Each structure stands twice: as C-alpha cells, then as structure tokens.
Amino acid sequence: MNLLLMILAAVVVAILLAILIVKFVPLKMRWLISILLLGATVFLVSKIYGGIMEPIHFAKDKQVRYAKVIKNLKLIRDAEVKYKEVYRTYTDNKDSLITFIENGKLALTETTNVEEKVDRGGGIFVTISKKKVDTIGFESVSKYFEGKDYKGMFSVPGTDKQFELAVDKVEKVAGLFVPVFEVKADKASILKGMSTSLVKQELEALETDQIKGAFVSVGSLIEVTTGGNWPPSYDKAEALAKKE
C-alpha cells in the first residue's frame, strides 16, 4: 500500500512540475531544472525499487531464520517422543530431557503370537491367539542424537531467548486423558531487526503456505499432536538438504 501511494505521489509531482516548468521557468534555466529532476527521478526510482524488493528479501530472510528455529523444535520433539516411550508422559524439565538423551535407555521388544485354550463352559474349549510382547534388550537414547547439538536445542537461534516448553493432559475421548506437550518461540523475537511493518503482517499470517499466528511451535496443549505449525515446504527443504 505504501509503495502504491509513493508511485501515485511521484506521478502527481512529476505532472505538476512539468506544468510549472513550462509556464514559469525561463528557457535558459531549464537545463538546471532538468538536472535537479534527473536527481529526483533517480532517488524516486531507488525508493520504488527498494519498496518492491523489501518484501522479497524479507521472505527469503525469514525462511532462513525459521528453518534454524524449526530444526531445534524438531530436535526437542524427537527427545520428548523418546522420553514418552520410556515414561509414558512428557516432561517440561529441560535439564531432565538432556540427561535422558545422554543416559536414557530404550527397551527393544519382540512381539509373538501365542495360542491359548479358553474354557467357554460346558466342556467347550476355544483356541485363541494373543500377542505377547517380550523385552529382548536395551539401546541407548543417545544413538538417535549423535552429531546433533541437543545441549543447545532449547536456545532460539539468532536470539538470546529460550523456547517455551509446557506439558499437560487432554481428554482424547470421554474419560481418557493423554499427555501432550508444546514448544514454541515468538516470531517477533526471531524476526527482530527486520521491517516493522512486514513483521506485523507476519504475526497475523493465516495463509496455508505460511507459519500461522504469532509463534513457531511444535505440539499442542489443546489437541493430541506432535506436529509443527509450519508448512510442508520447510520439511521438504530439510529433506533435500540431507540428500545433498
């Protein structure tokens, strides 16, 4: 909108100056006016160009910043999922989660089908098949985080802030409460130093190809999910980077 107003203002000013020059400026002085107008034109063109390019640069820069934040969010999410495999719940204690990555063990299980005869009464026996799960060993949690900066995963990249981490329980069906978690960082901190007007628009983003709302987050405290609020394009970019 500001860019459109700038262009309209430039057109109006140019027309008015042309009229004034023709009517009031002596012919021998018009060369000086021409030089001044040329300078003004260069200035306006640069401003208009800047207005066009600013949103483009903003979009590229924010994607770079968001990608770094999402990388850490995924790392925290993976740690929480492994933690839940062992303790059947999530944790909001950051130190405990790091310690779990370093020292935790995951059970290795084997599932087999076992047939049993069940007495149905009256001398009638029915053979049924049941699944039996046996623990056959353990593996270190740390193997899933080799080469990853899990100790620094709670820091929001590019800022001096830490991710907000919270856990709770929600009722999935009547009487059944399941654990949930949420990790988030506010966009305003991530985009600090960028265009104020464009950051304001970004905080109100609702498009499906954008990160909706004022936070970049994974998980939820109101529904059962371990997904993030970013569009698939960020996951595709990471997948391509791994292949390369």
The end-to-end CA distance of the chain, in Å, is 40
Q: Which residues contact 81 (CB under 8 A, 6 or more apart)?
A: 226
User: What is the pLDDT averaged over residues 39-55?
Assistant: 71
The structure tokens listed for 223 are: 């529904």
pLDDT exceeds 70 at position 238:
no
The closest alpha carbon to 157, from 198, 199, 191, belongs to 191
Residue 134 identity: D
> In whole angstroms, how far apart are CA 243 and each of 9, 172, 186, 237?
50, 38, 30, 10
The domain ranges of the chain are 58-243
81-90, 193-202, 230-239: range with lowest mean pLDDT:
230-239
Predicted pLDDT at 27: 65
Contact 226, 81 (CB under 8 A): yes
Predicted pLDDT at 133: 79
Residue bearing the bigger pLDDT, 100 or 128: 100
Predicted pLDDT at 242: 57
Q: Report if pTM > 0.85.
A: no
Query: Residue 128 — very low, low, confident or very high, per pLDDT cuts 50/70/90?
Result: confident
Query: Residue 102 — very low, low, confident or very high, per pLDDT cuts 50/70/90?
Result: very high
SS (H, E, C) 189-241: HHCCCCCHHHHHHHHCCCCCCCCCCCEEEEECCCCCCCCECCCHHHHHHHHHH
Residue bearing the bigger pLDDT, 173 or 47: 173
- Number of Cβ atoms within 10 Å of the Cβ of 35: 10
pLDDT exceeds 50 at position 244:
no
pLDDT exceeds 90 at position 130:
no
Residue bearing the bigger pLDDT, 147 or 6: 147
Residue bearing the bigger pLDDT, 200 or 125: 200
